[in-house]
Chains A and B, each alone.
Chain A
């Protein structure tokens, strides 16, 4: 079966994996690879002391980069279920996955509040 992403990368071993998690991981790797280029272009485009032509050119180059190299494309997903909604970022878990684990006592330091 062909690899369905423009660039080959390692599939995460220690998290729940589905197509959407894979897509997110791909974007993360691409963002990390292109971060320096993007920042350089961003700096040129945002620097008001540079001539307008340079800034416009930098902005055009930035927009011509693939969308998957953009930071805003990255979404934190649940590590246990792959869900994208209601992910508690401290635990990288979706609310249901978090609740199950917390009730089972699998998350250190987390207990059900009772007073």
Chain B
């Protein structure tokens, strides 16, 4: 019934697989030898890793606005509070120690 009288030999089938991998650009590695091609095939991880802590240019920060519009005299309330607390601590002699002079 079928067109094939008998199955092609094993060597012949291997030849077909080799040809197909050549045509479709995949690596021909019948014995599963460790040739390190998976290292070259993998996409680079670096660009994604670098952006883990956010992209600096993605949006401006409060500091940027202060620099761009000095005439507005913008004050960051959180920073002002921190500075006030530092001053208060200094008044009670609880501030950070003086830097050592050379």
Q: Which residues of A contact B (CB under 8 A)?
A: 10, 12-15, 21, 24-25, 28-29, 31-33, 35-36, 39, 42-49, 71, 74, 76, 79, 92
Contact = CB atoms under 8 A, between A and B. Distances in A.
Interface stretch (B50-58, B76-84, B89-97): B50-58
Contacts of B33: 48-49
A36 B47 CA distance: 12
Interface of B is mostly: loop
Interface of B: 33-37, 39-40, 44-47, 49-50, 52-56, 58-59, 61, 63
Given A43-B36, A48-B33, A49-B33, A12 B56 contact: yes
Contacts of B39: 39, 42-43, 46
B40 A32 contact: no
A21 B53 contact: yes
Given A43-B39, A47-B34, A14 B45 contact: no
A76 B53 CA distance: 9
Given A14-B55, A32-B49, A39-B40, 6 more contacts: A12-B56, A28-B49, A32-B44, A44-B36, A46-B36, A71-B45
A47 B35 contact: yes
B82 to A, nearest CB: 14
Contacts of B53: 12, 14-15, 21, 24-25, 79
B52 A47 contact: no
Contact of B52 (A10, A33, A49, A76): A76
Contacts of B50: 28-29, 32
A71 B56 CA distance: 22
A87 to B, nearest CB: 11
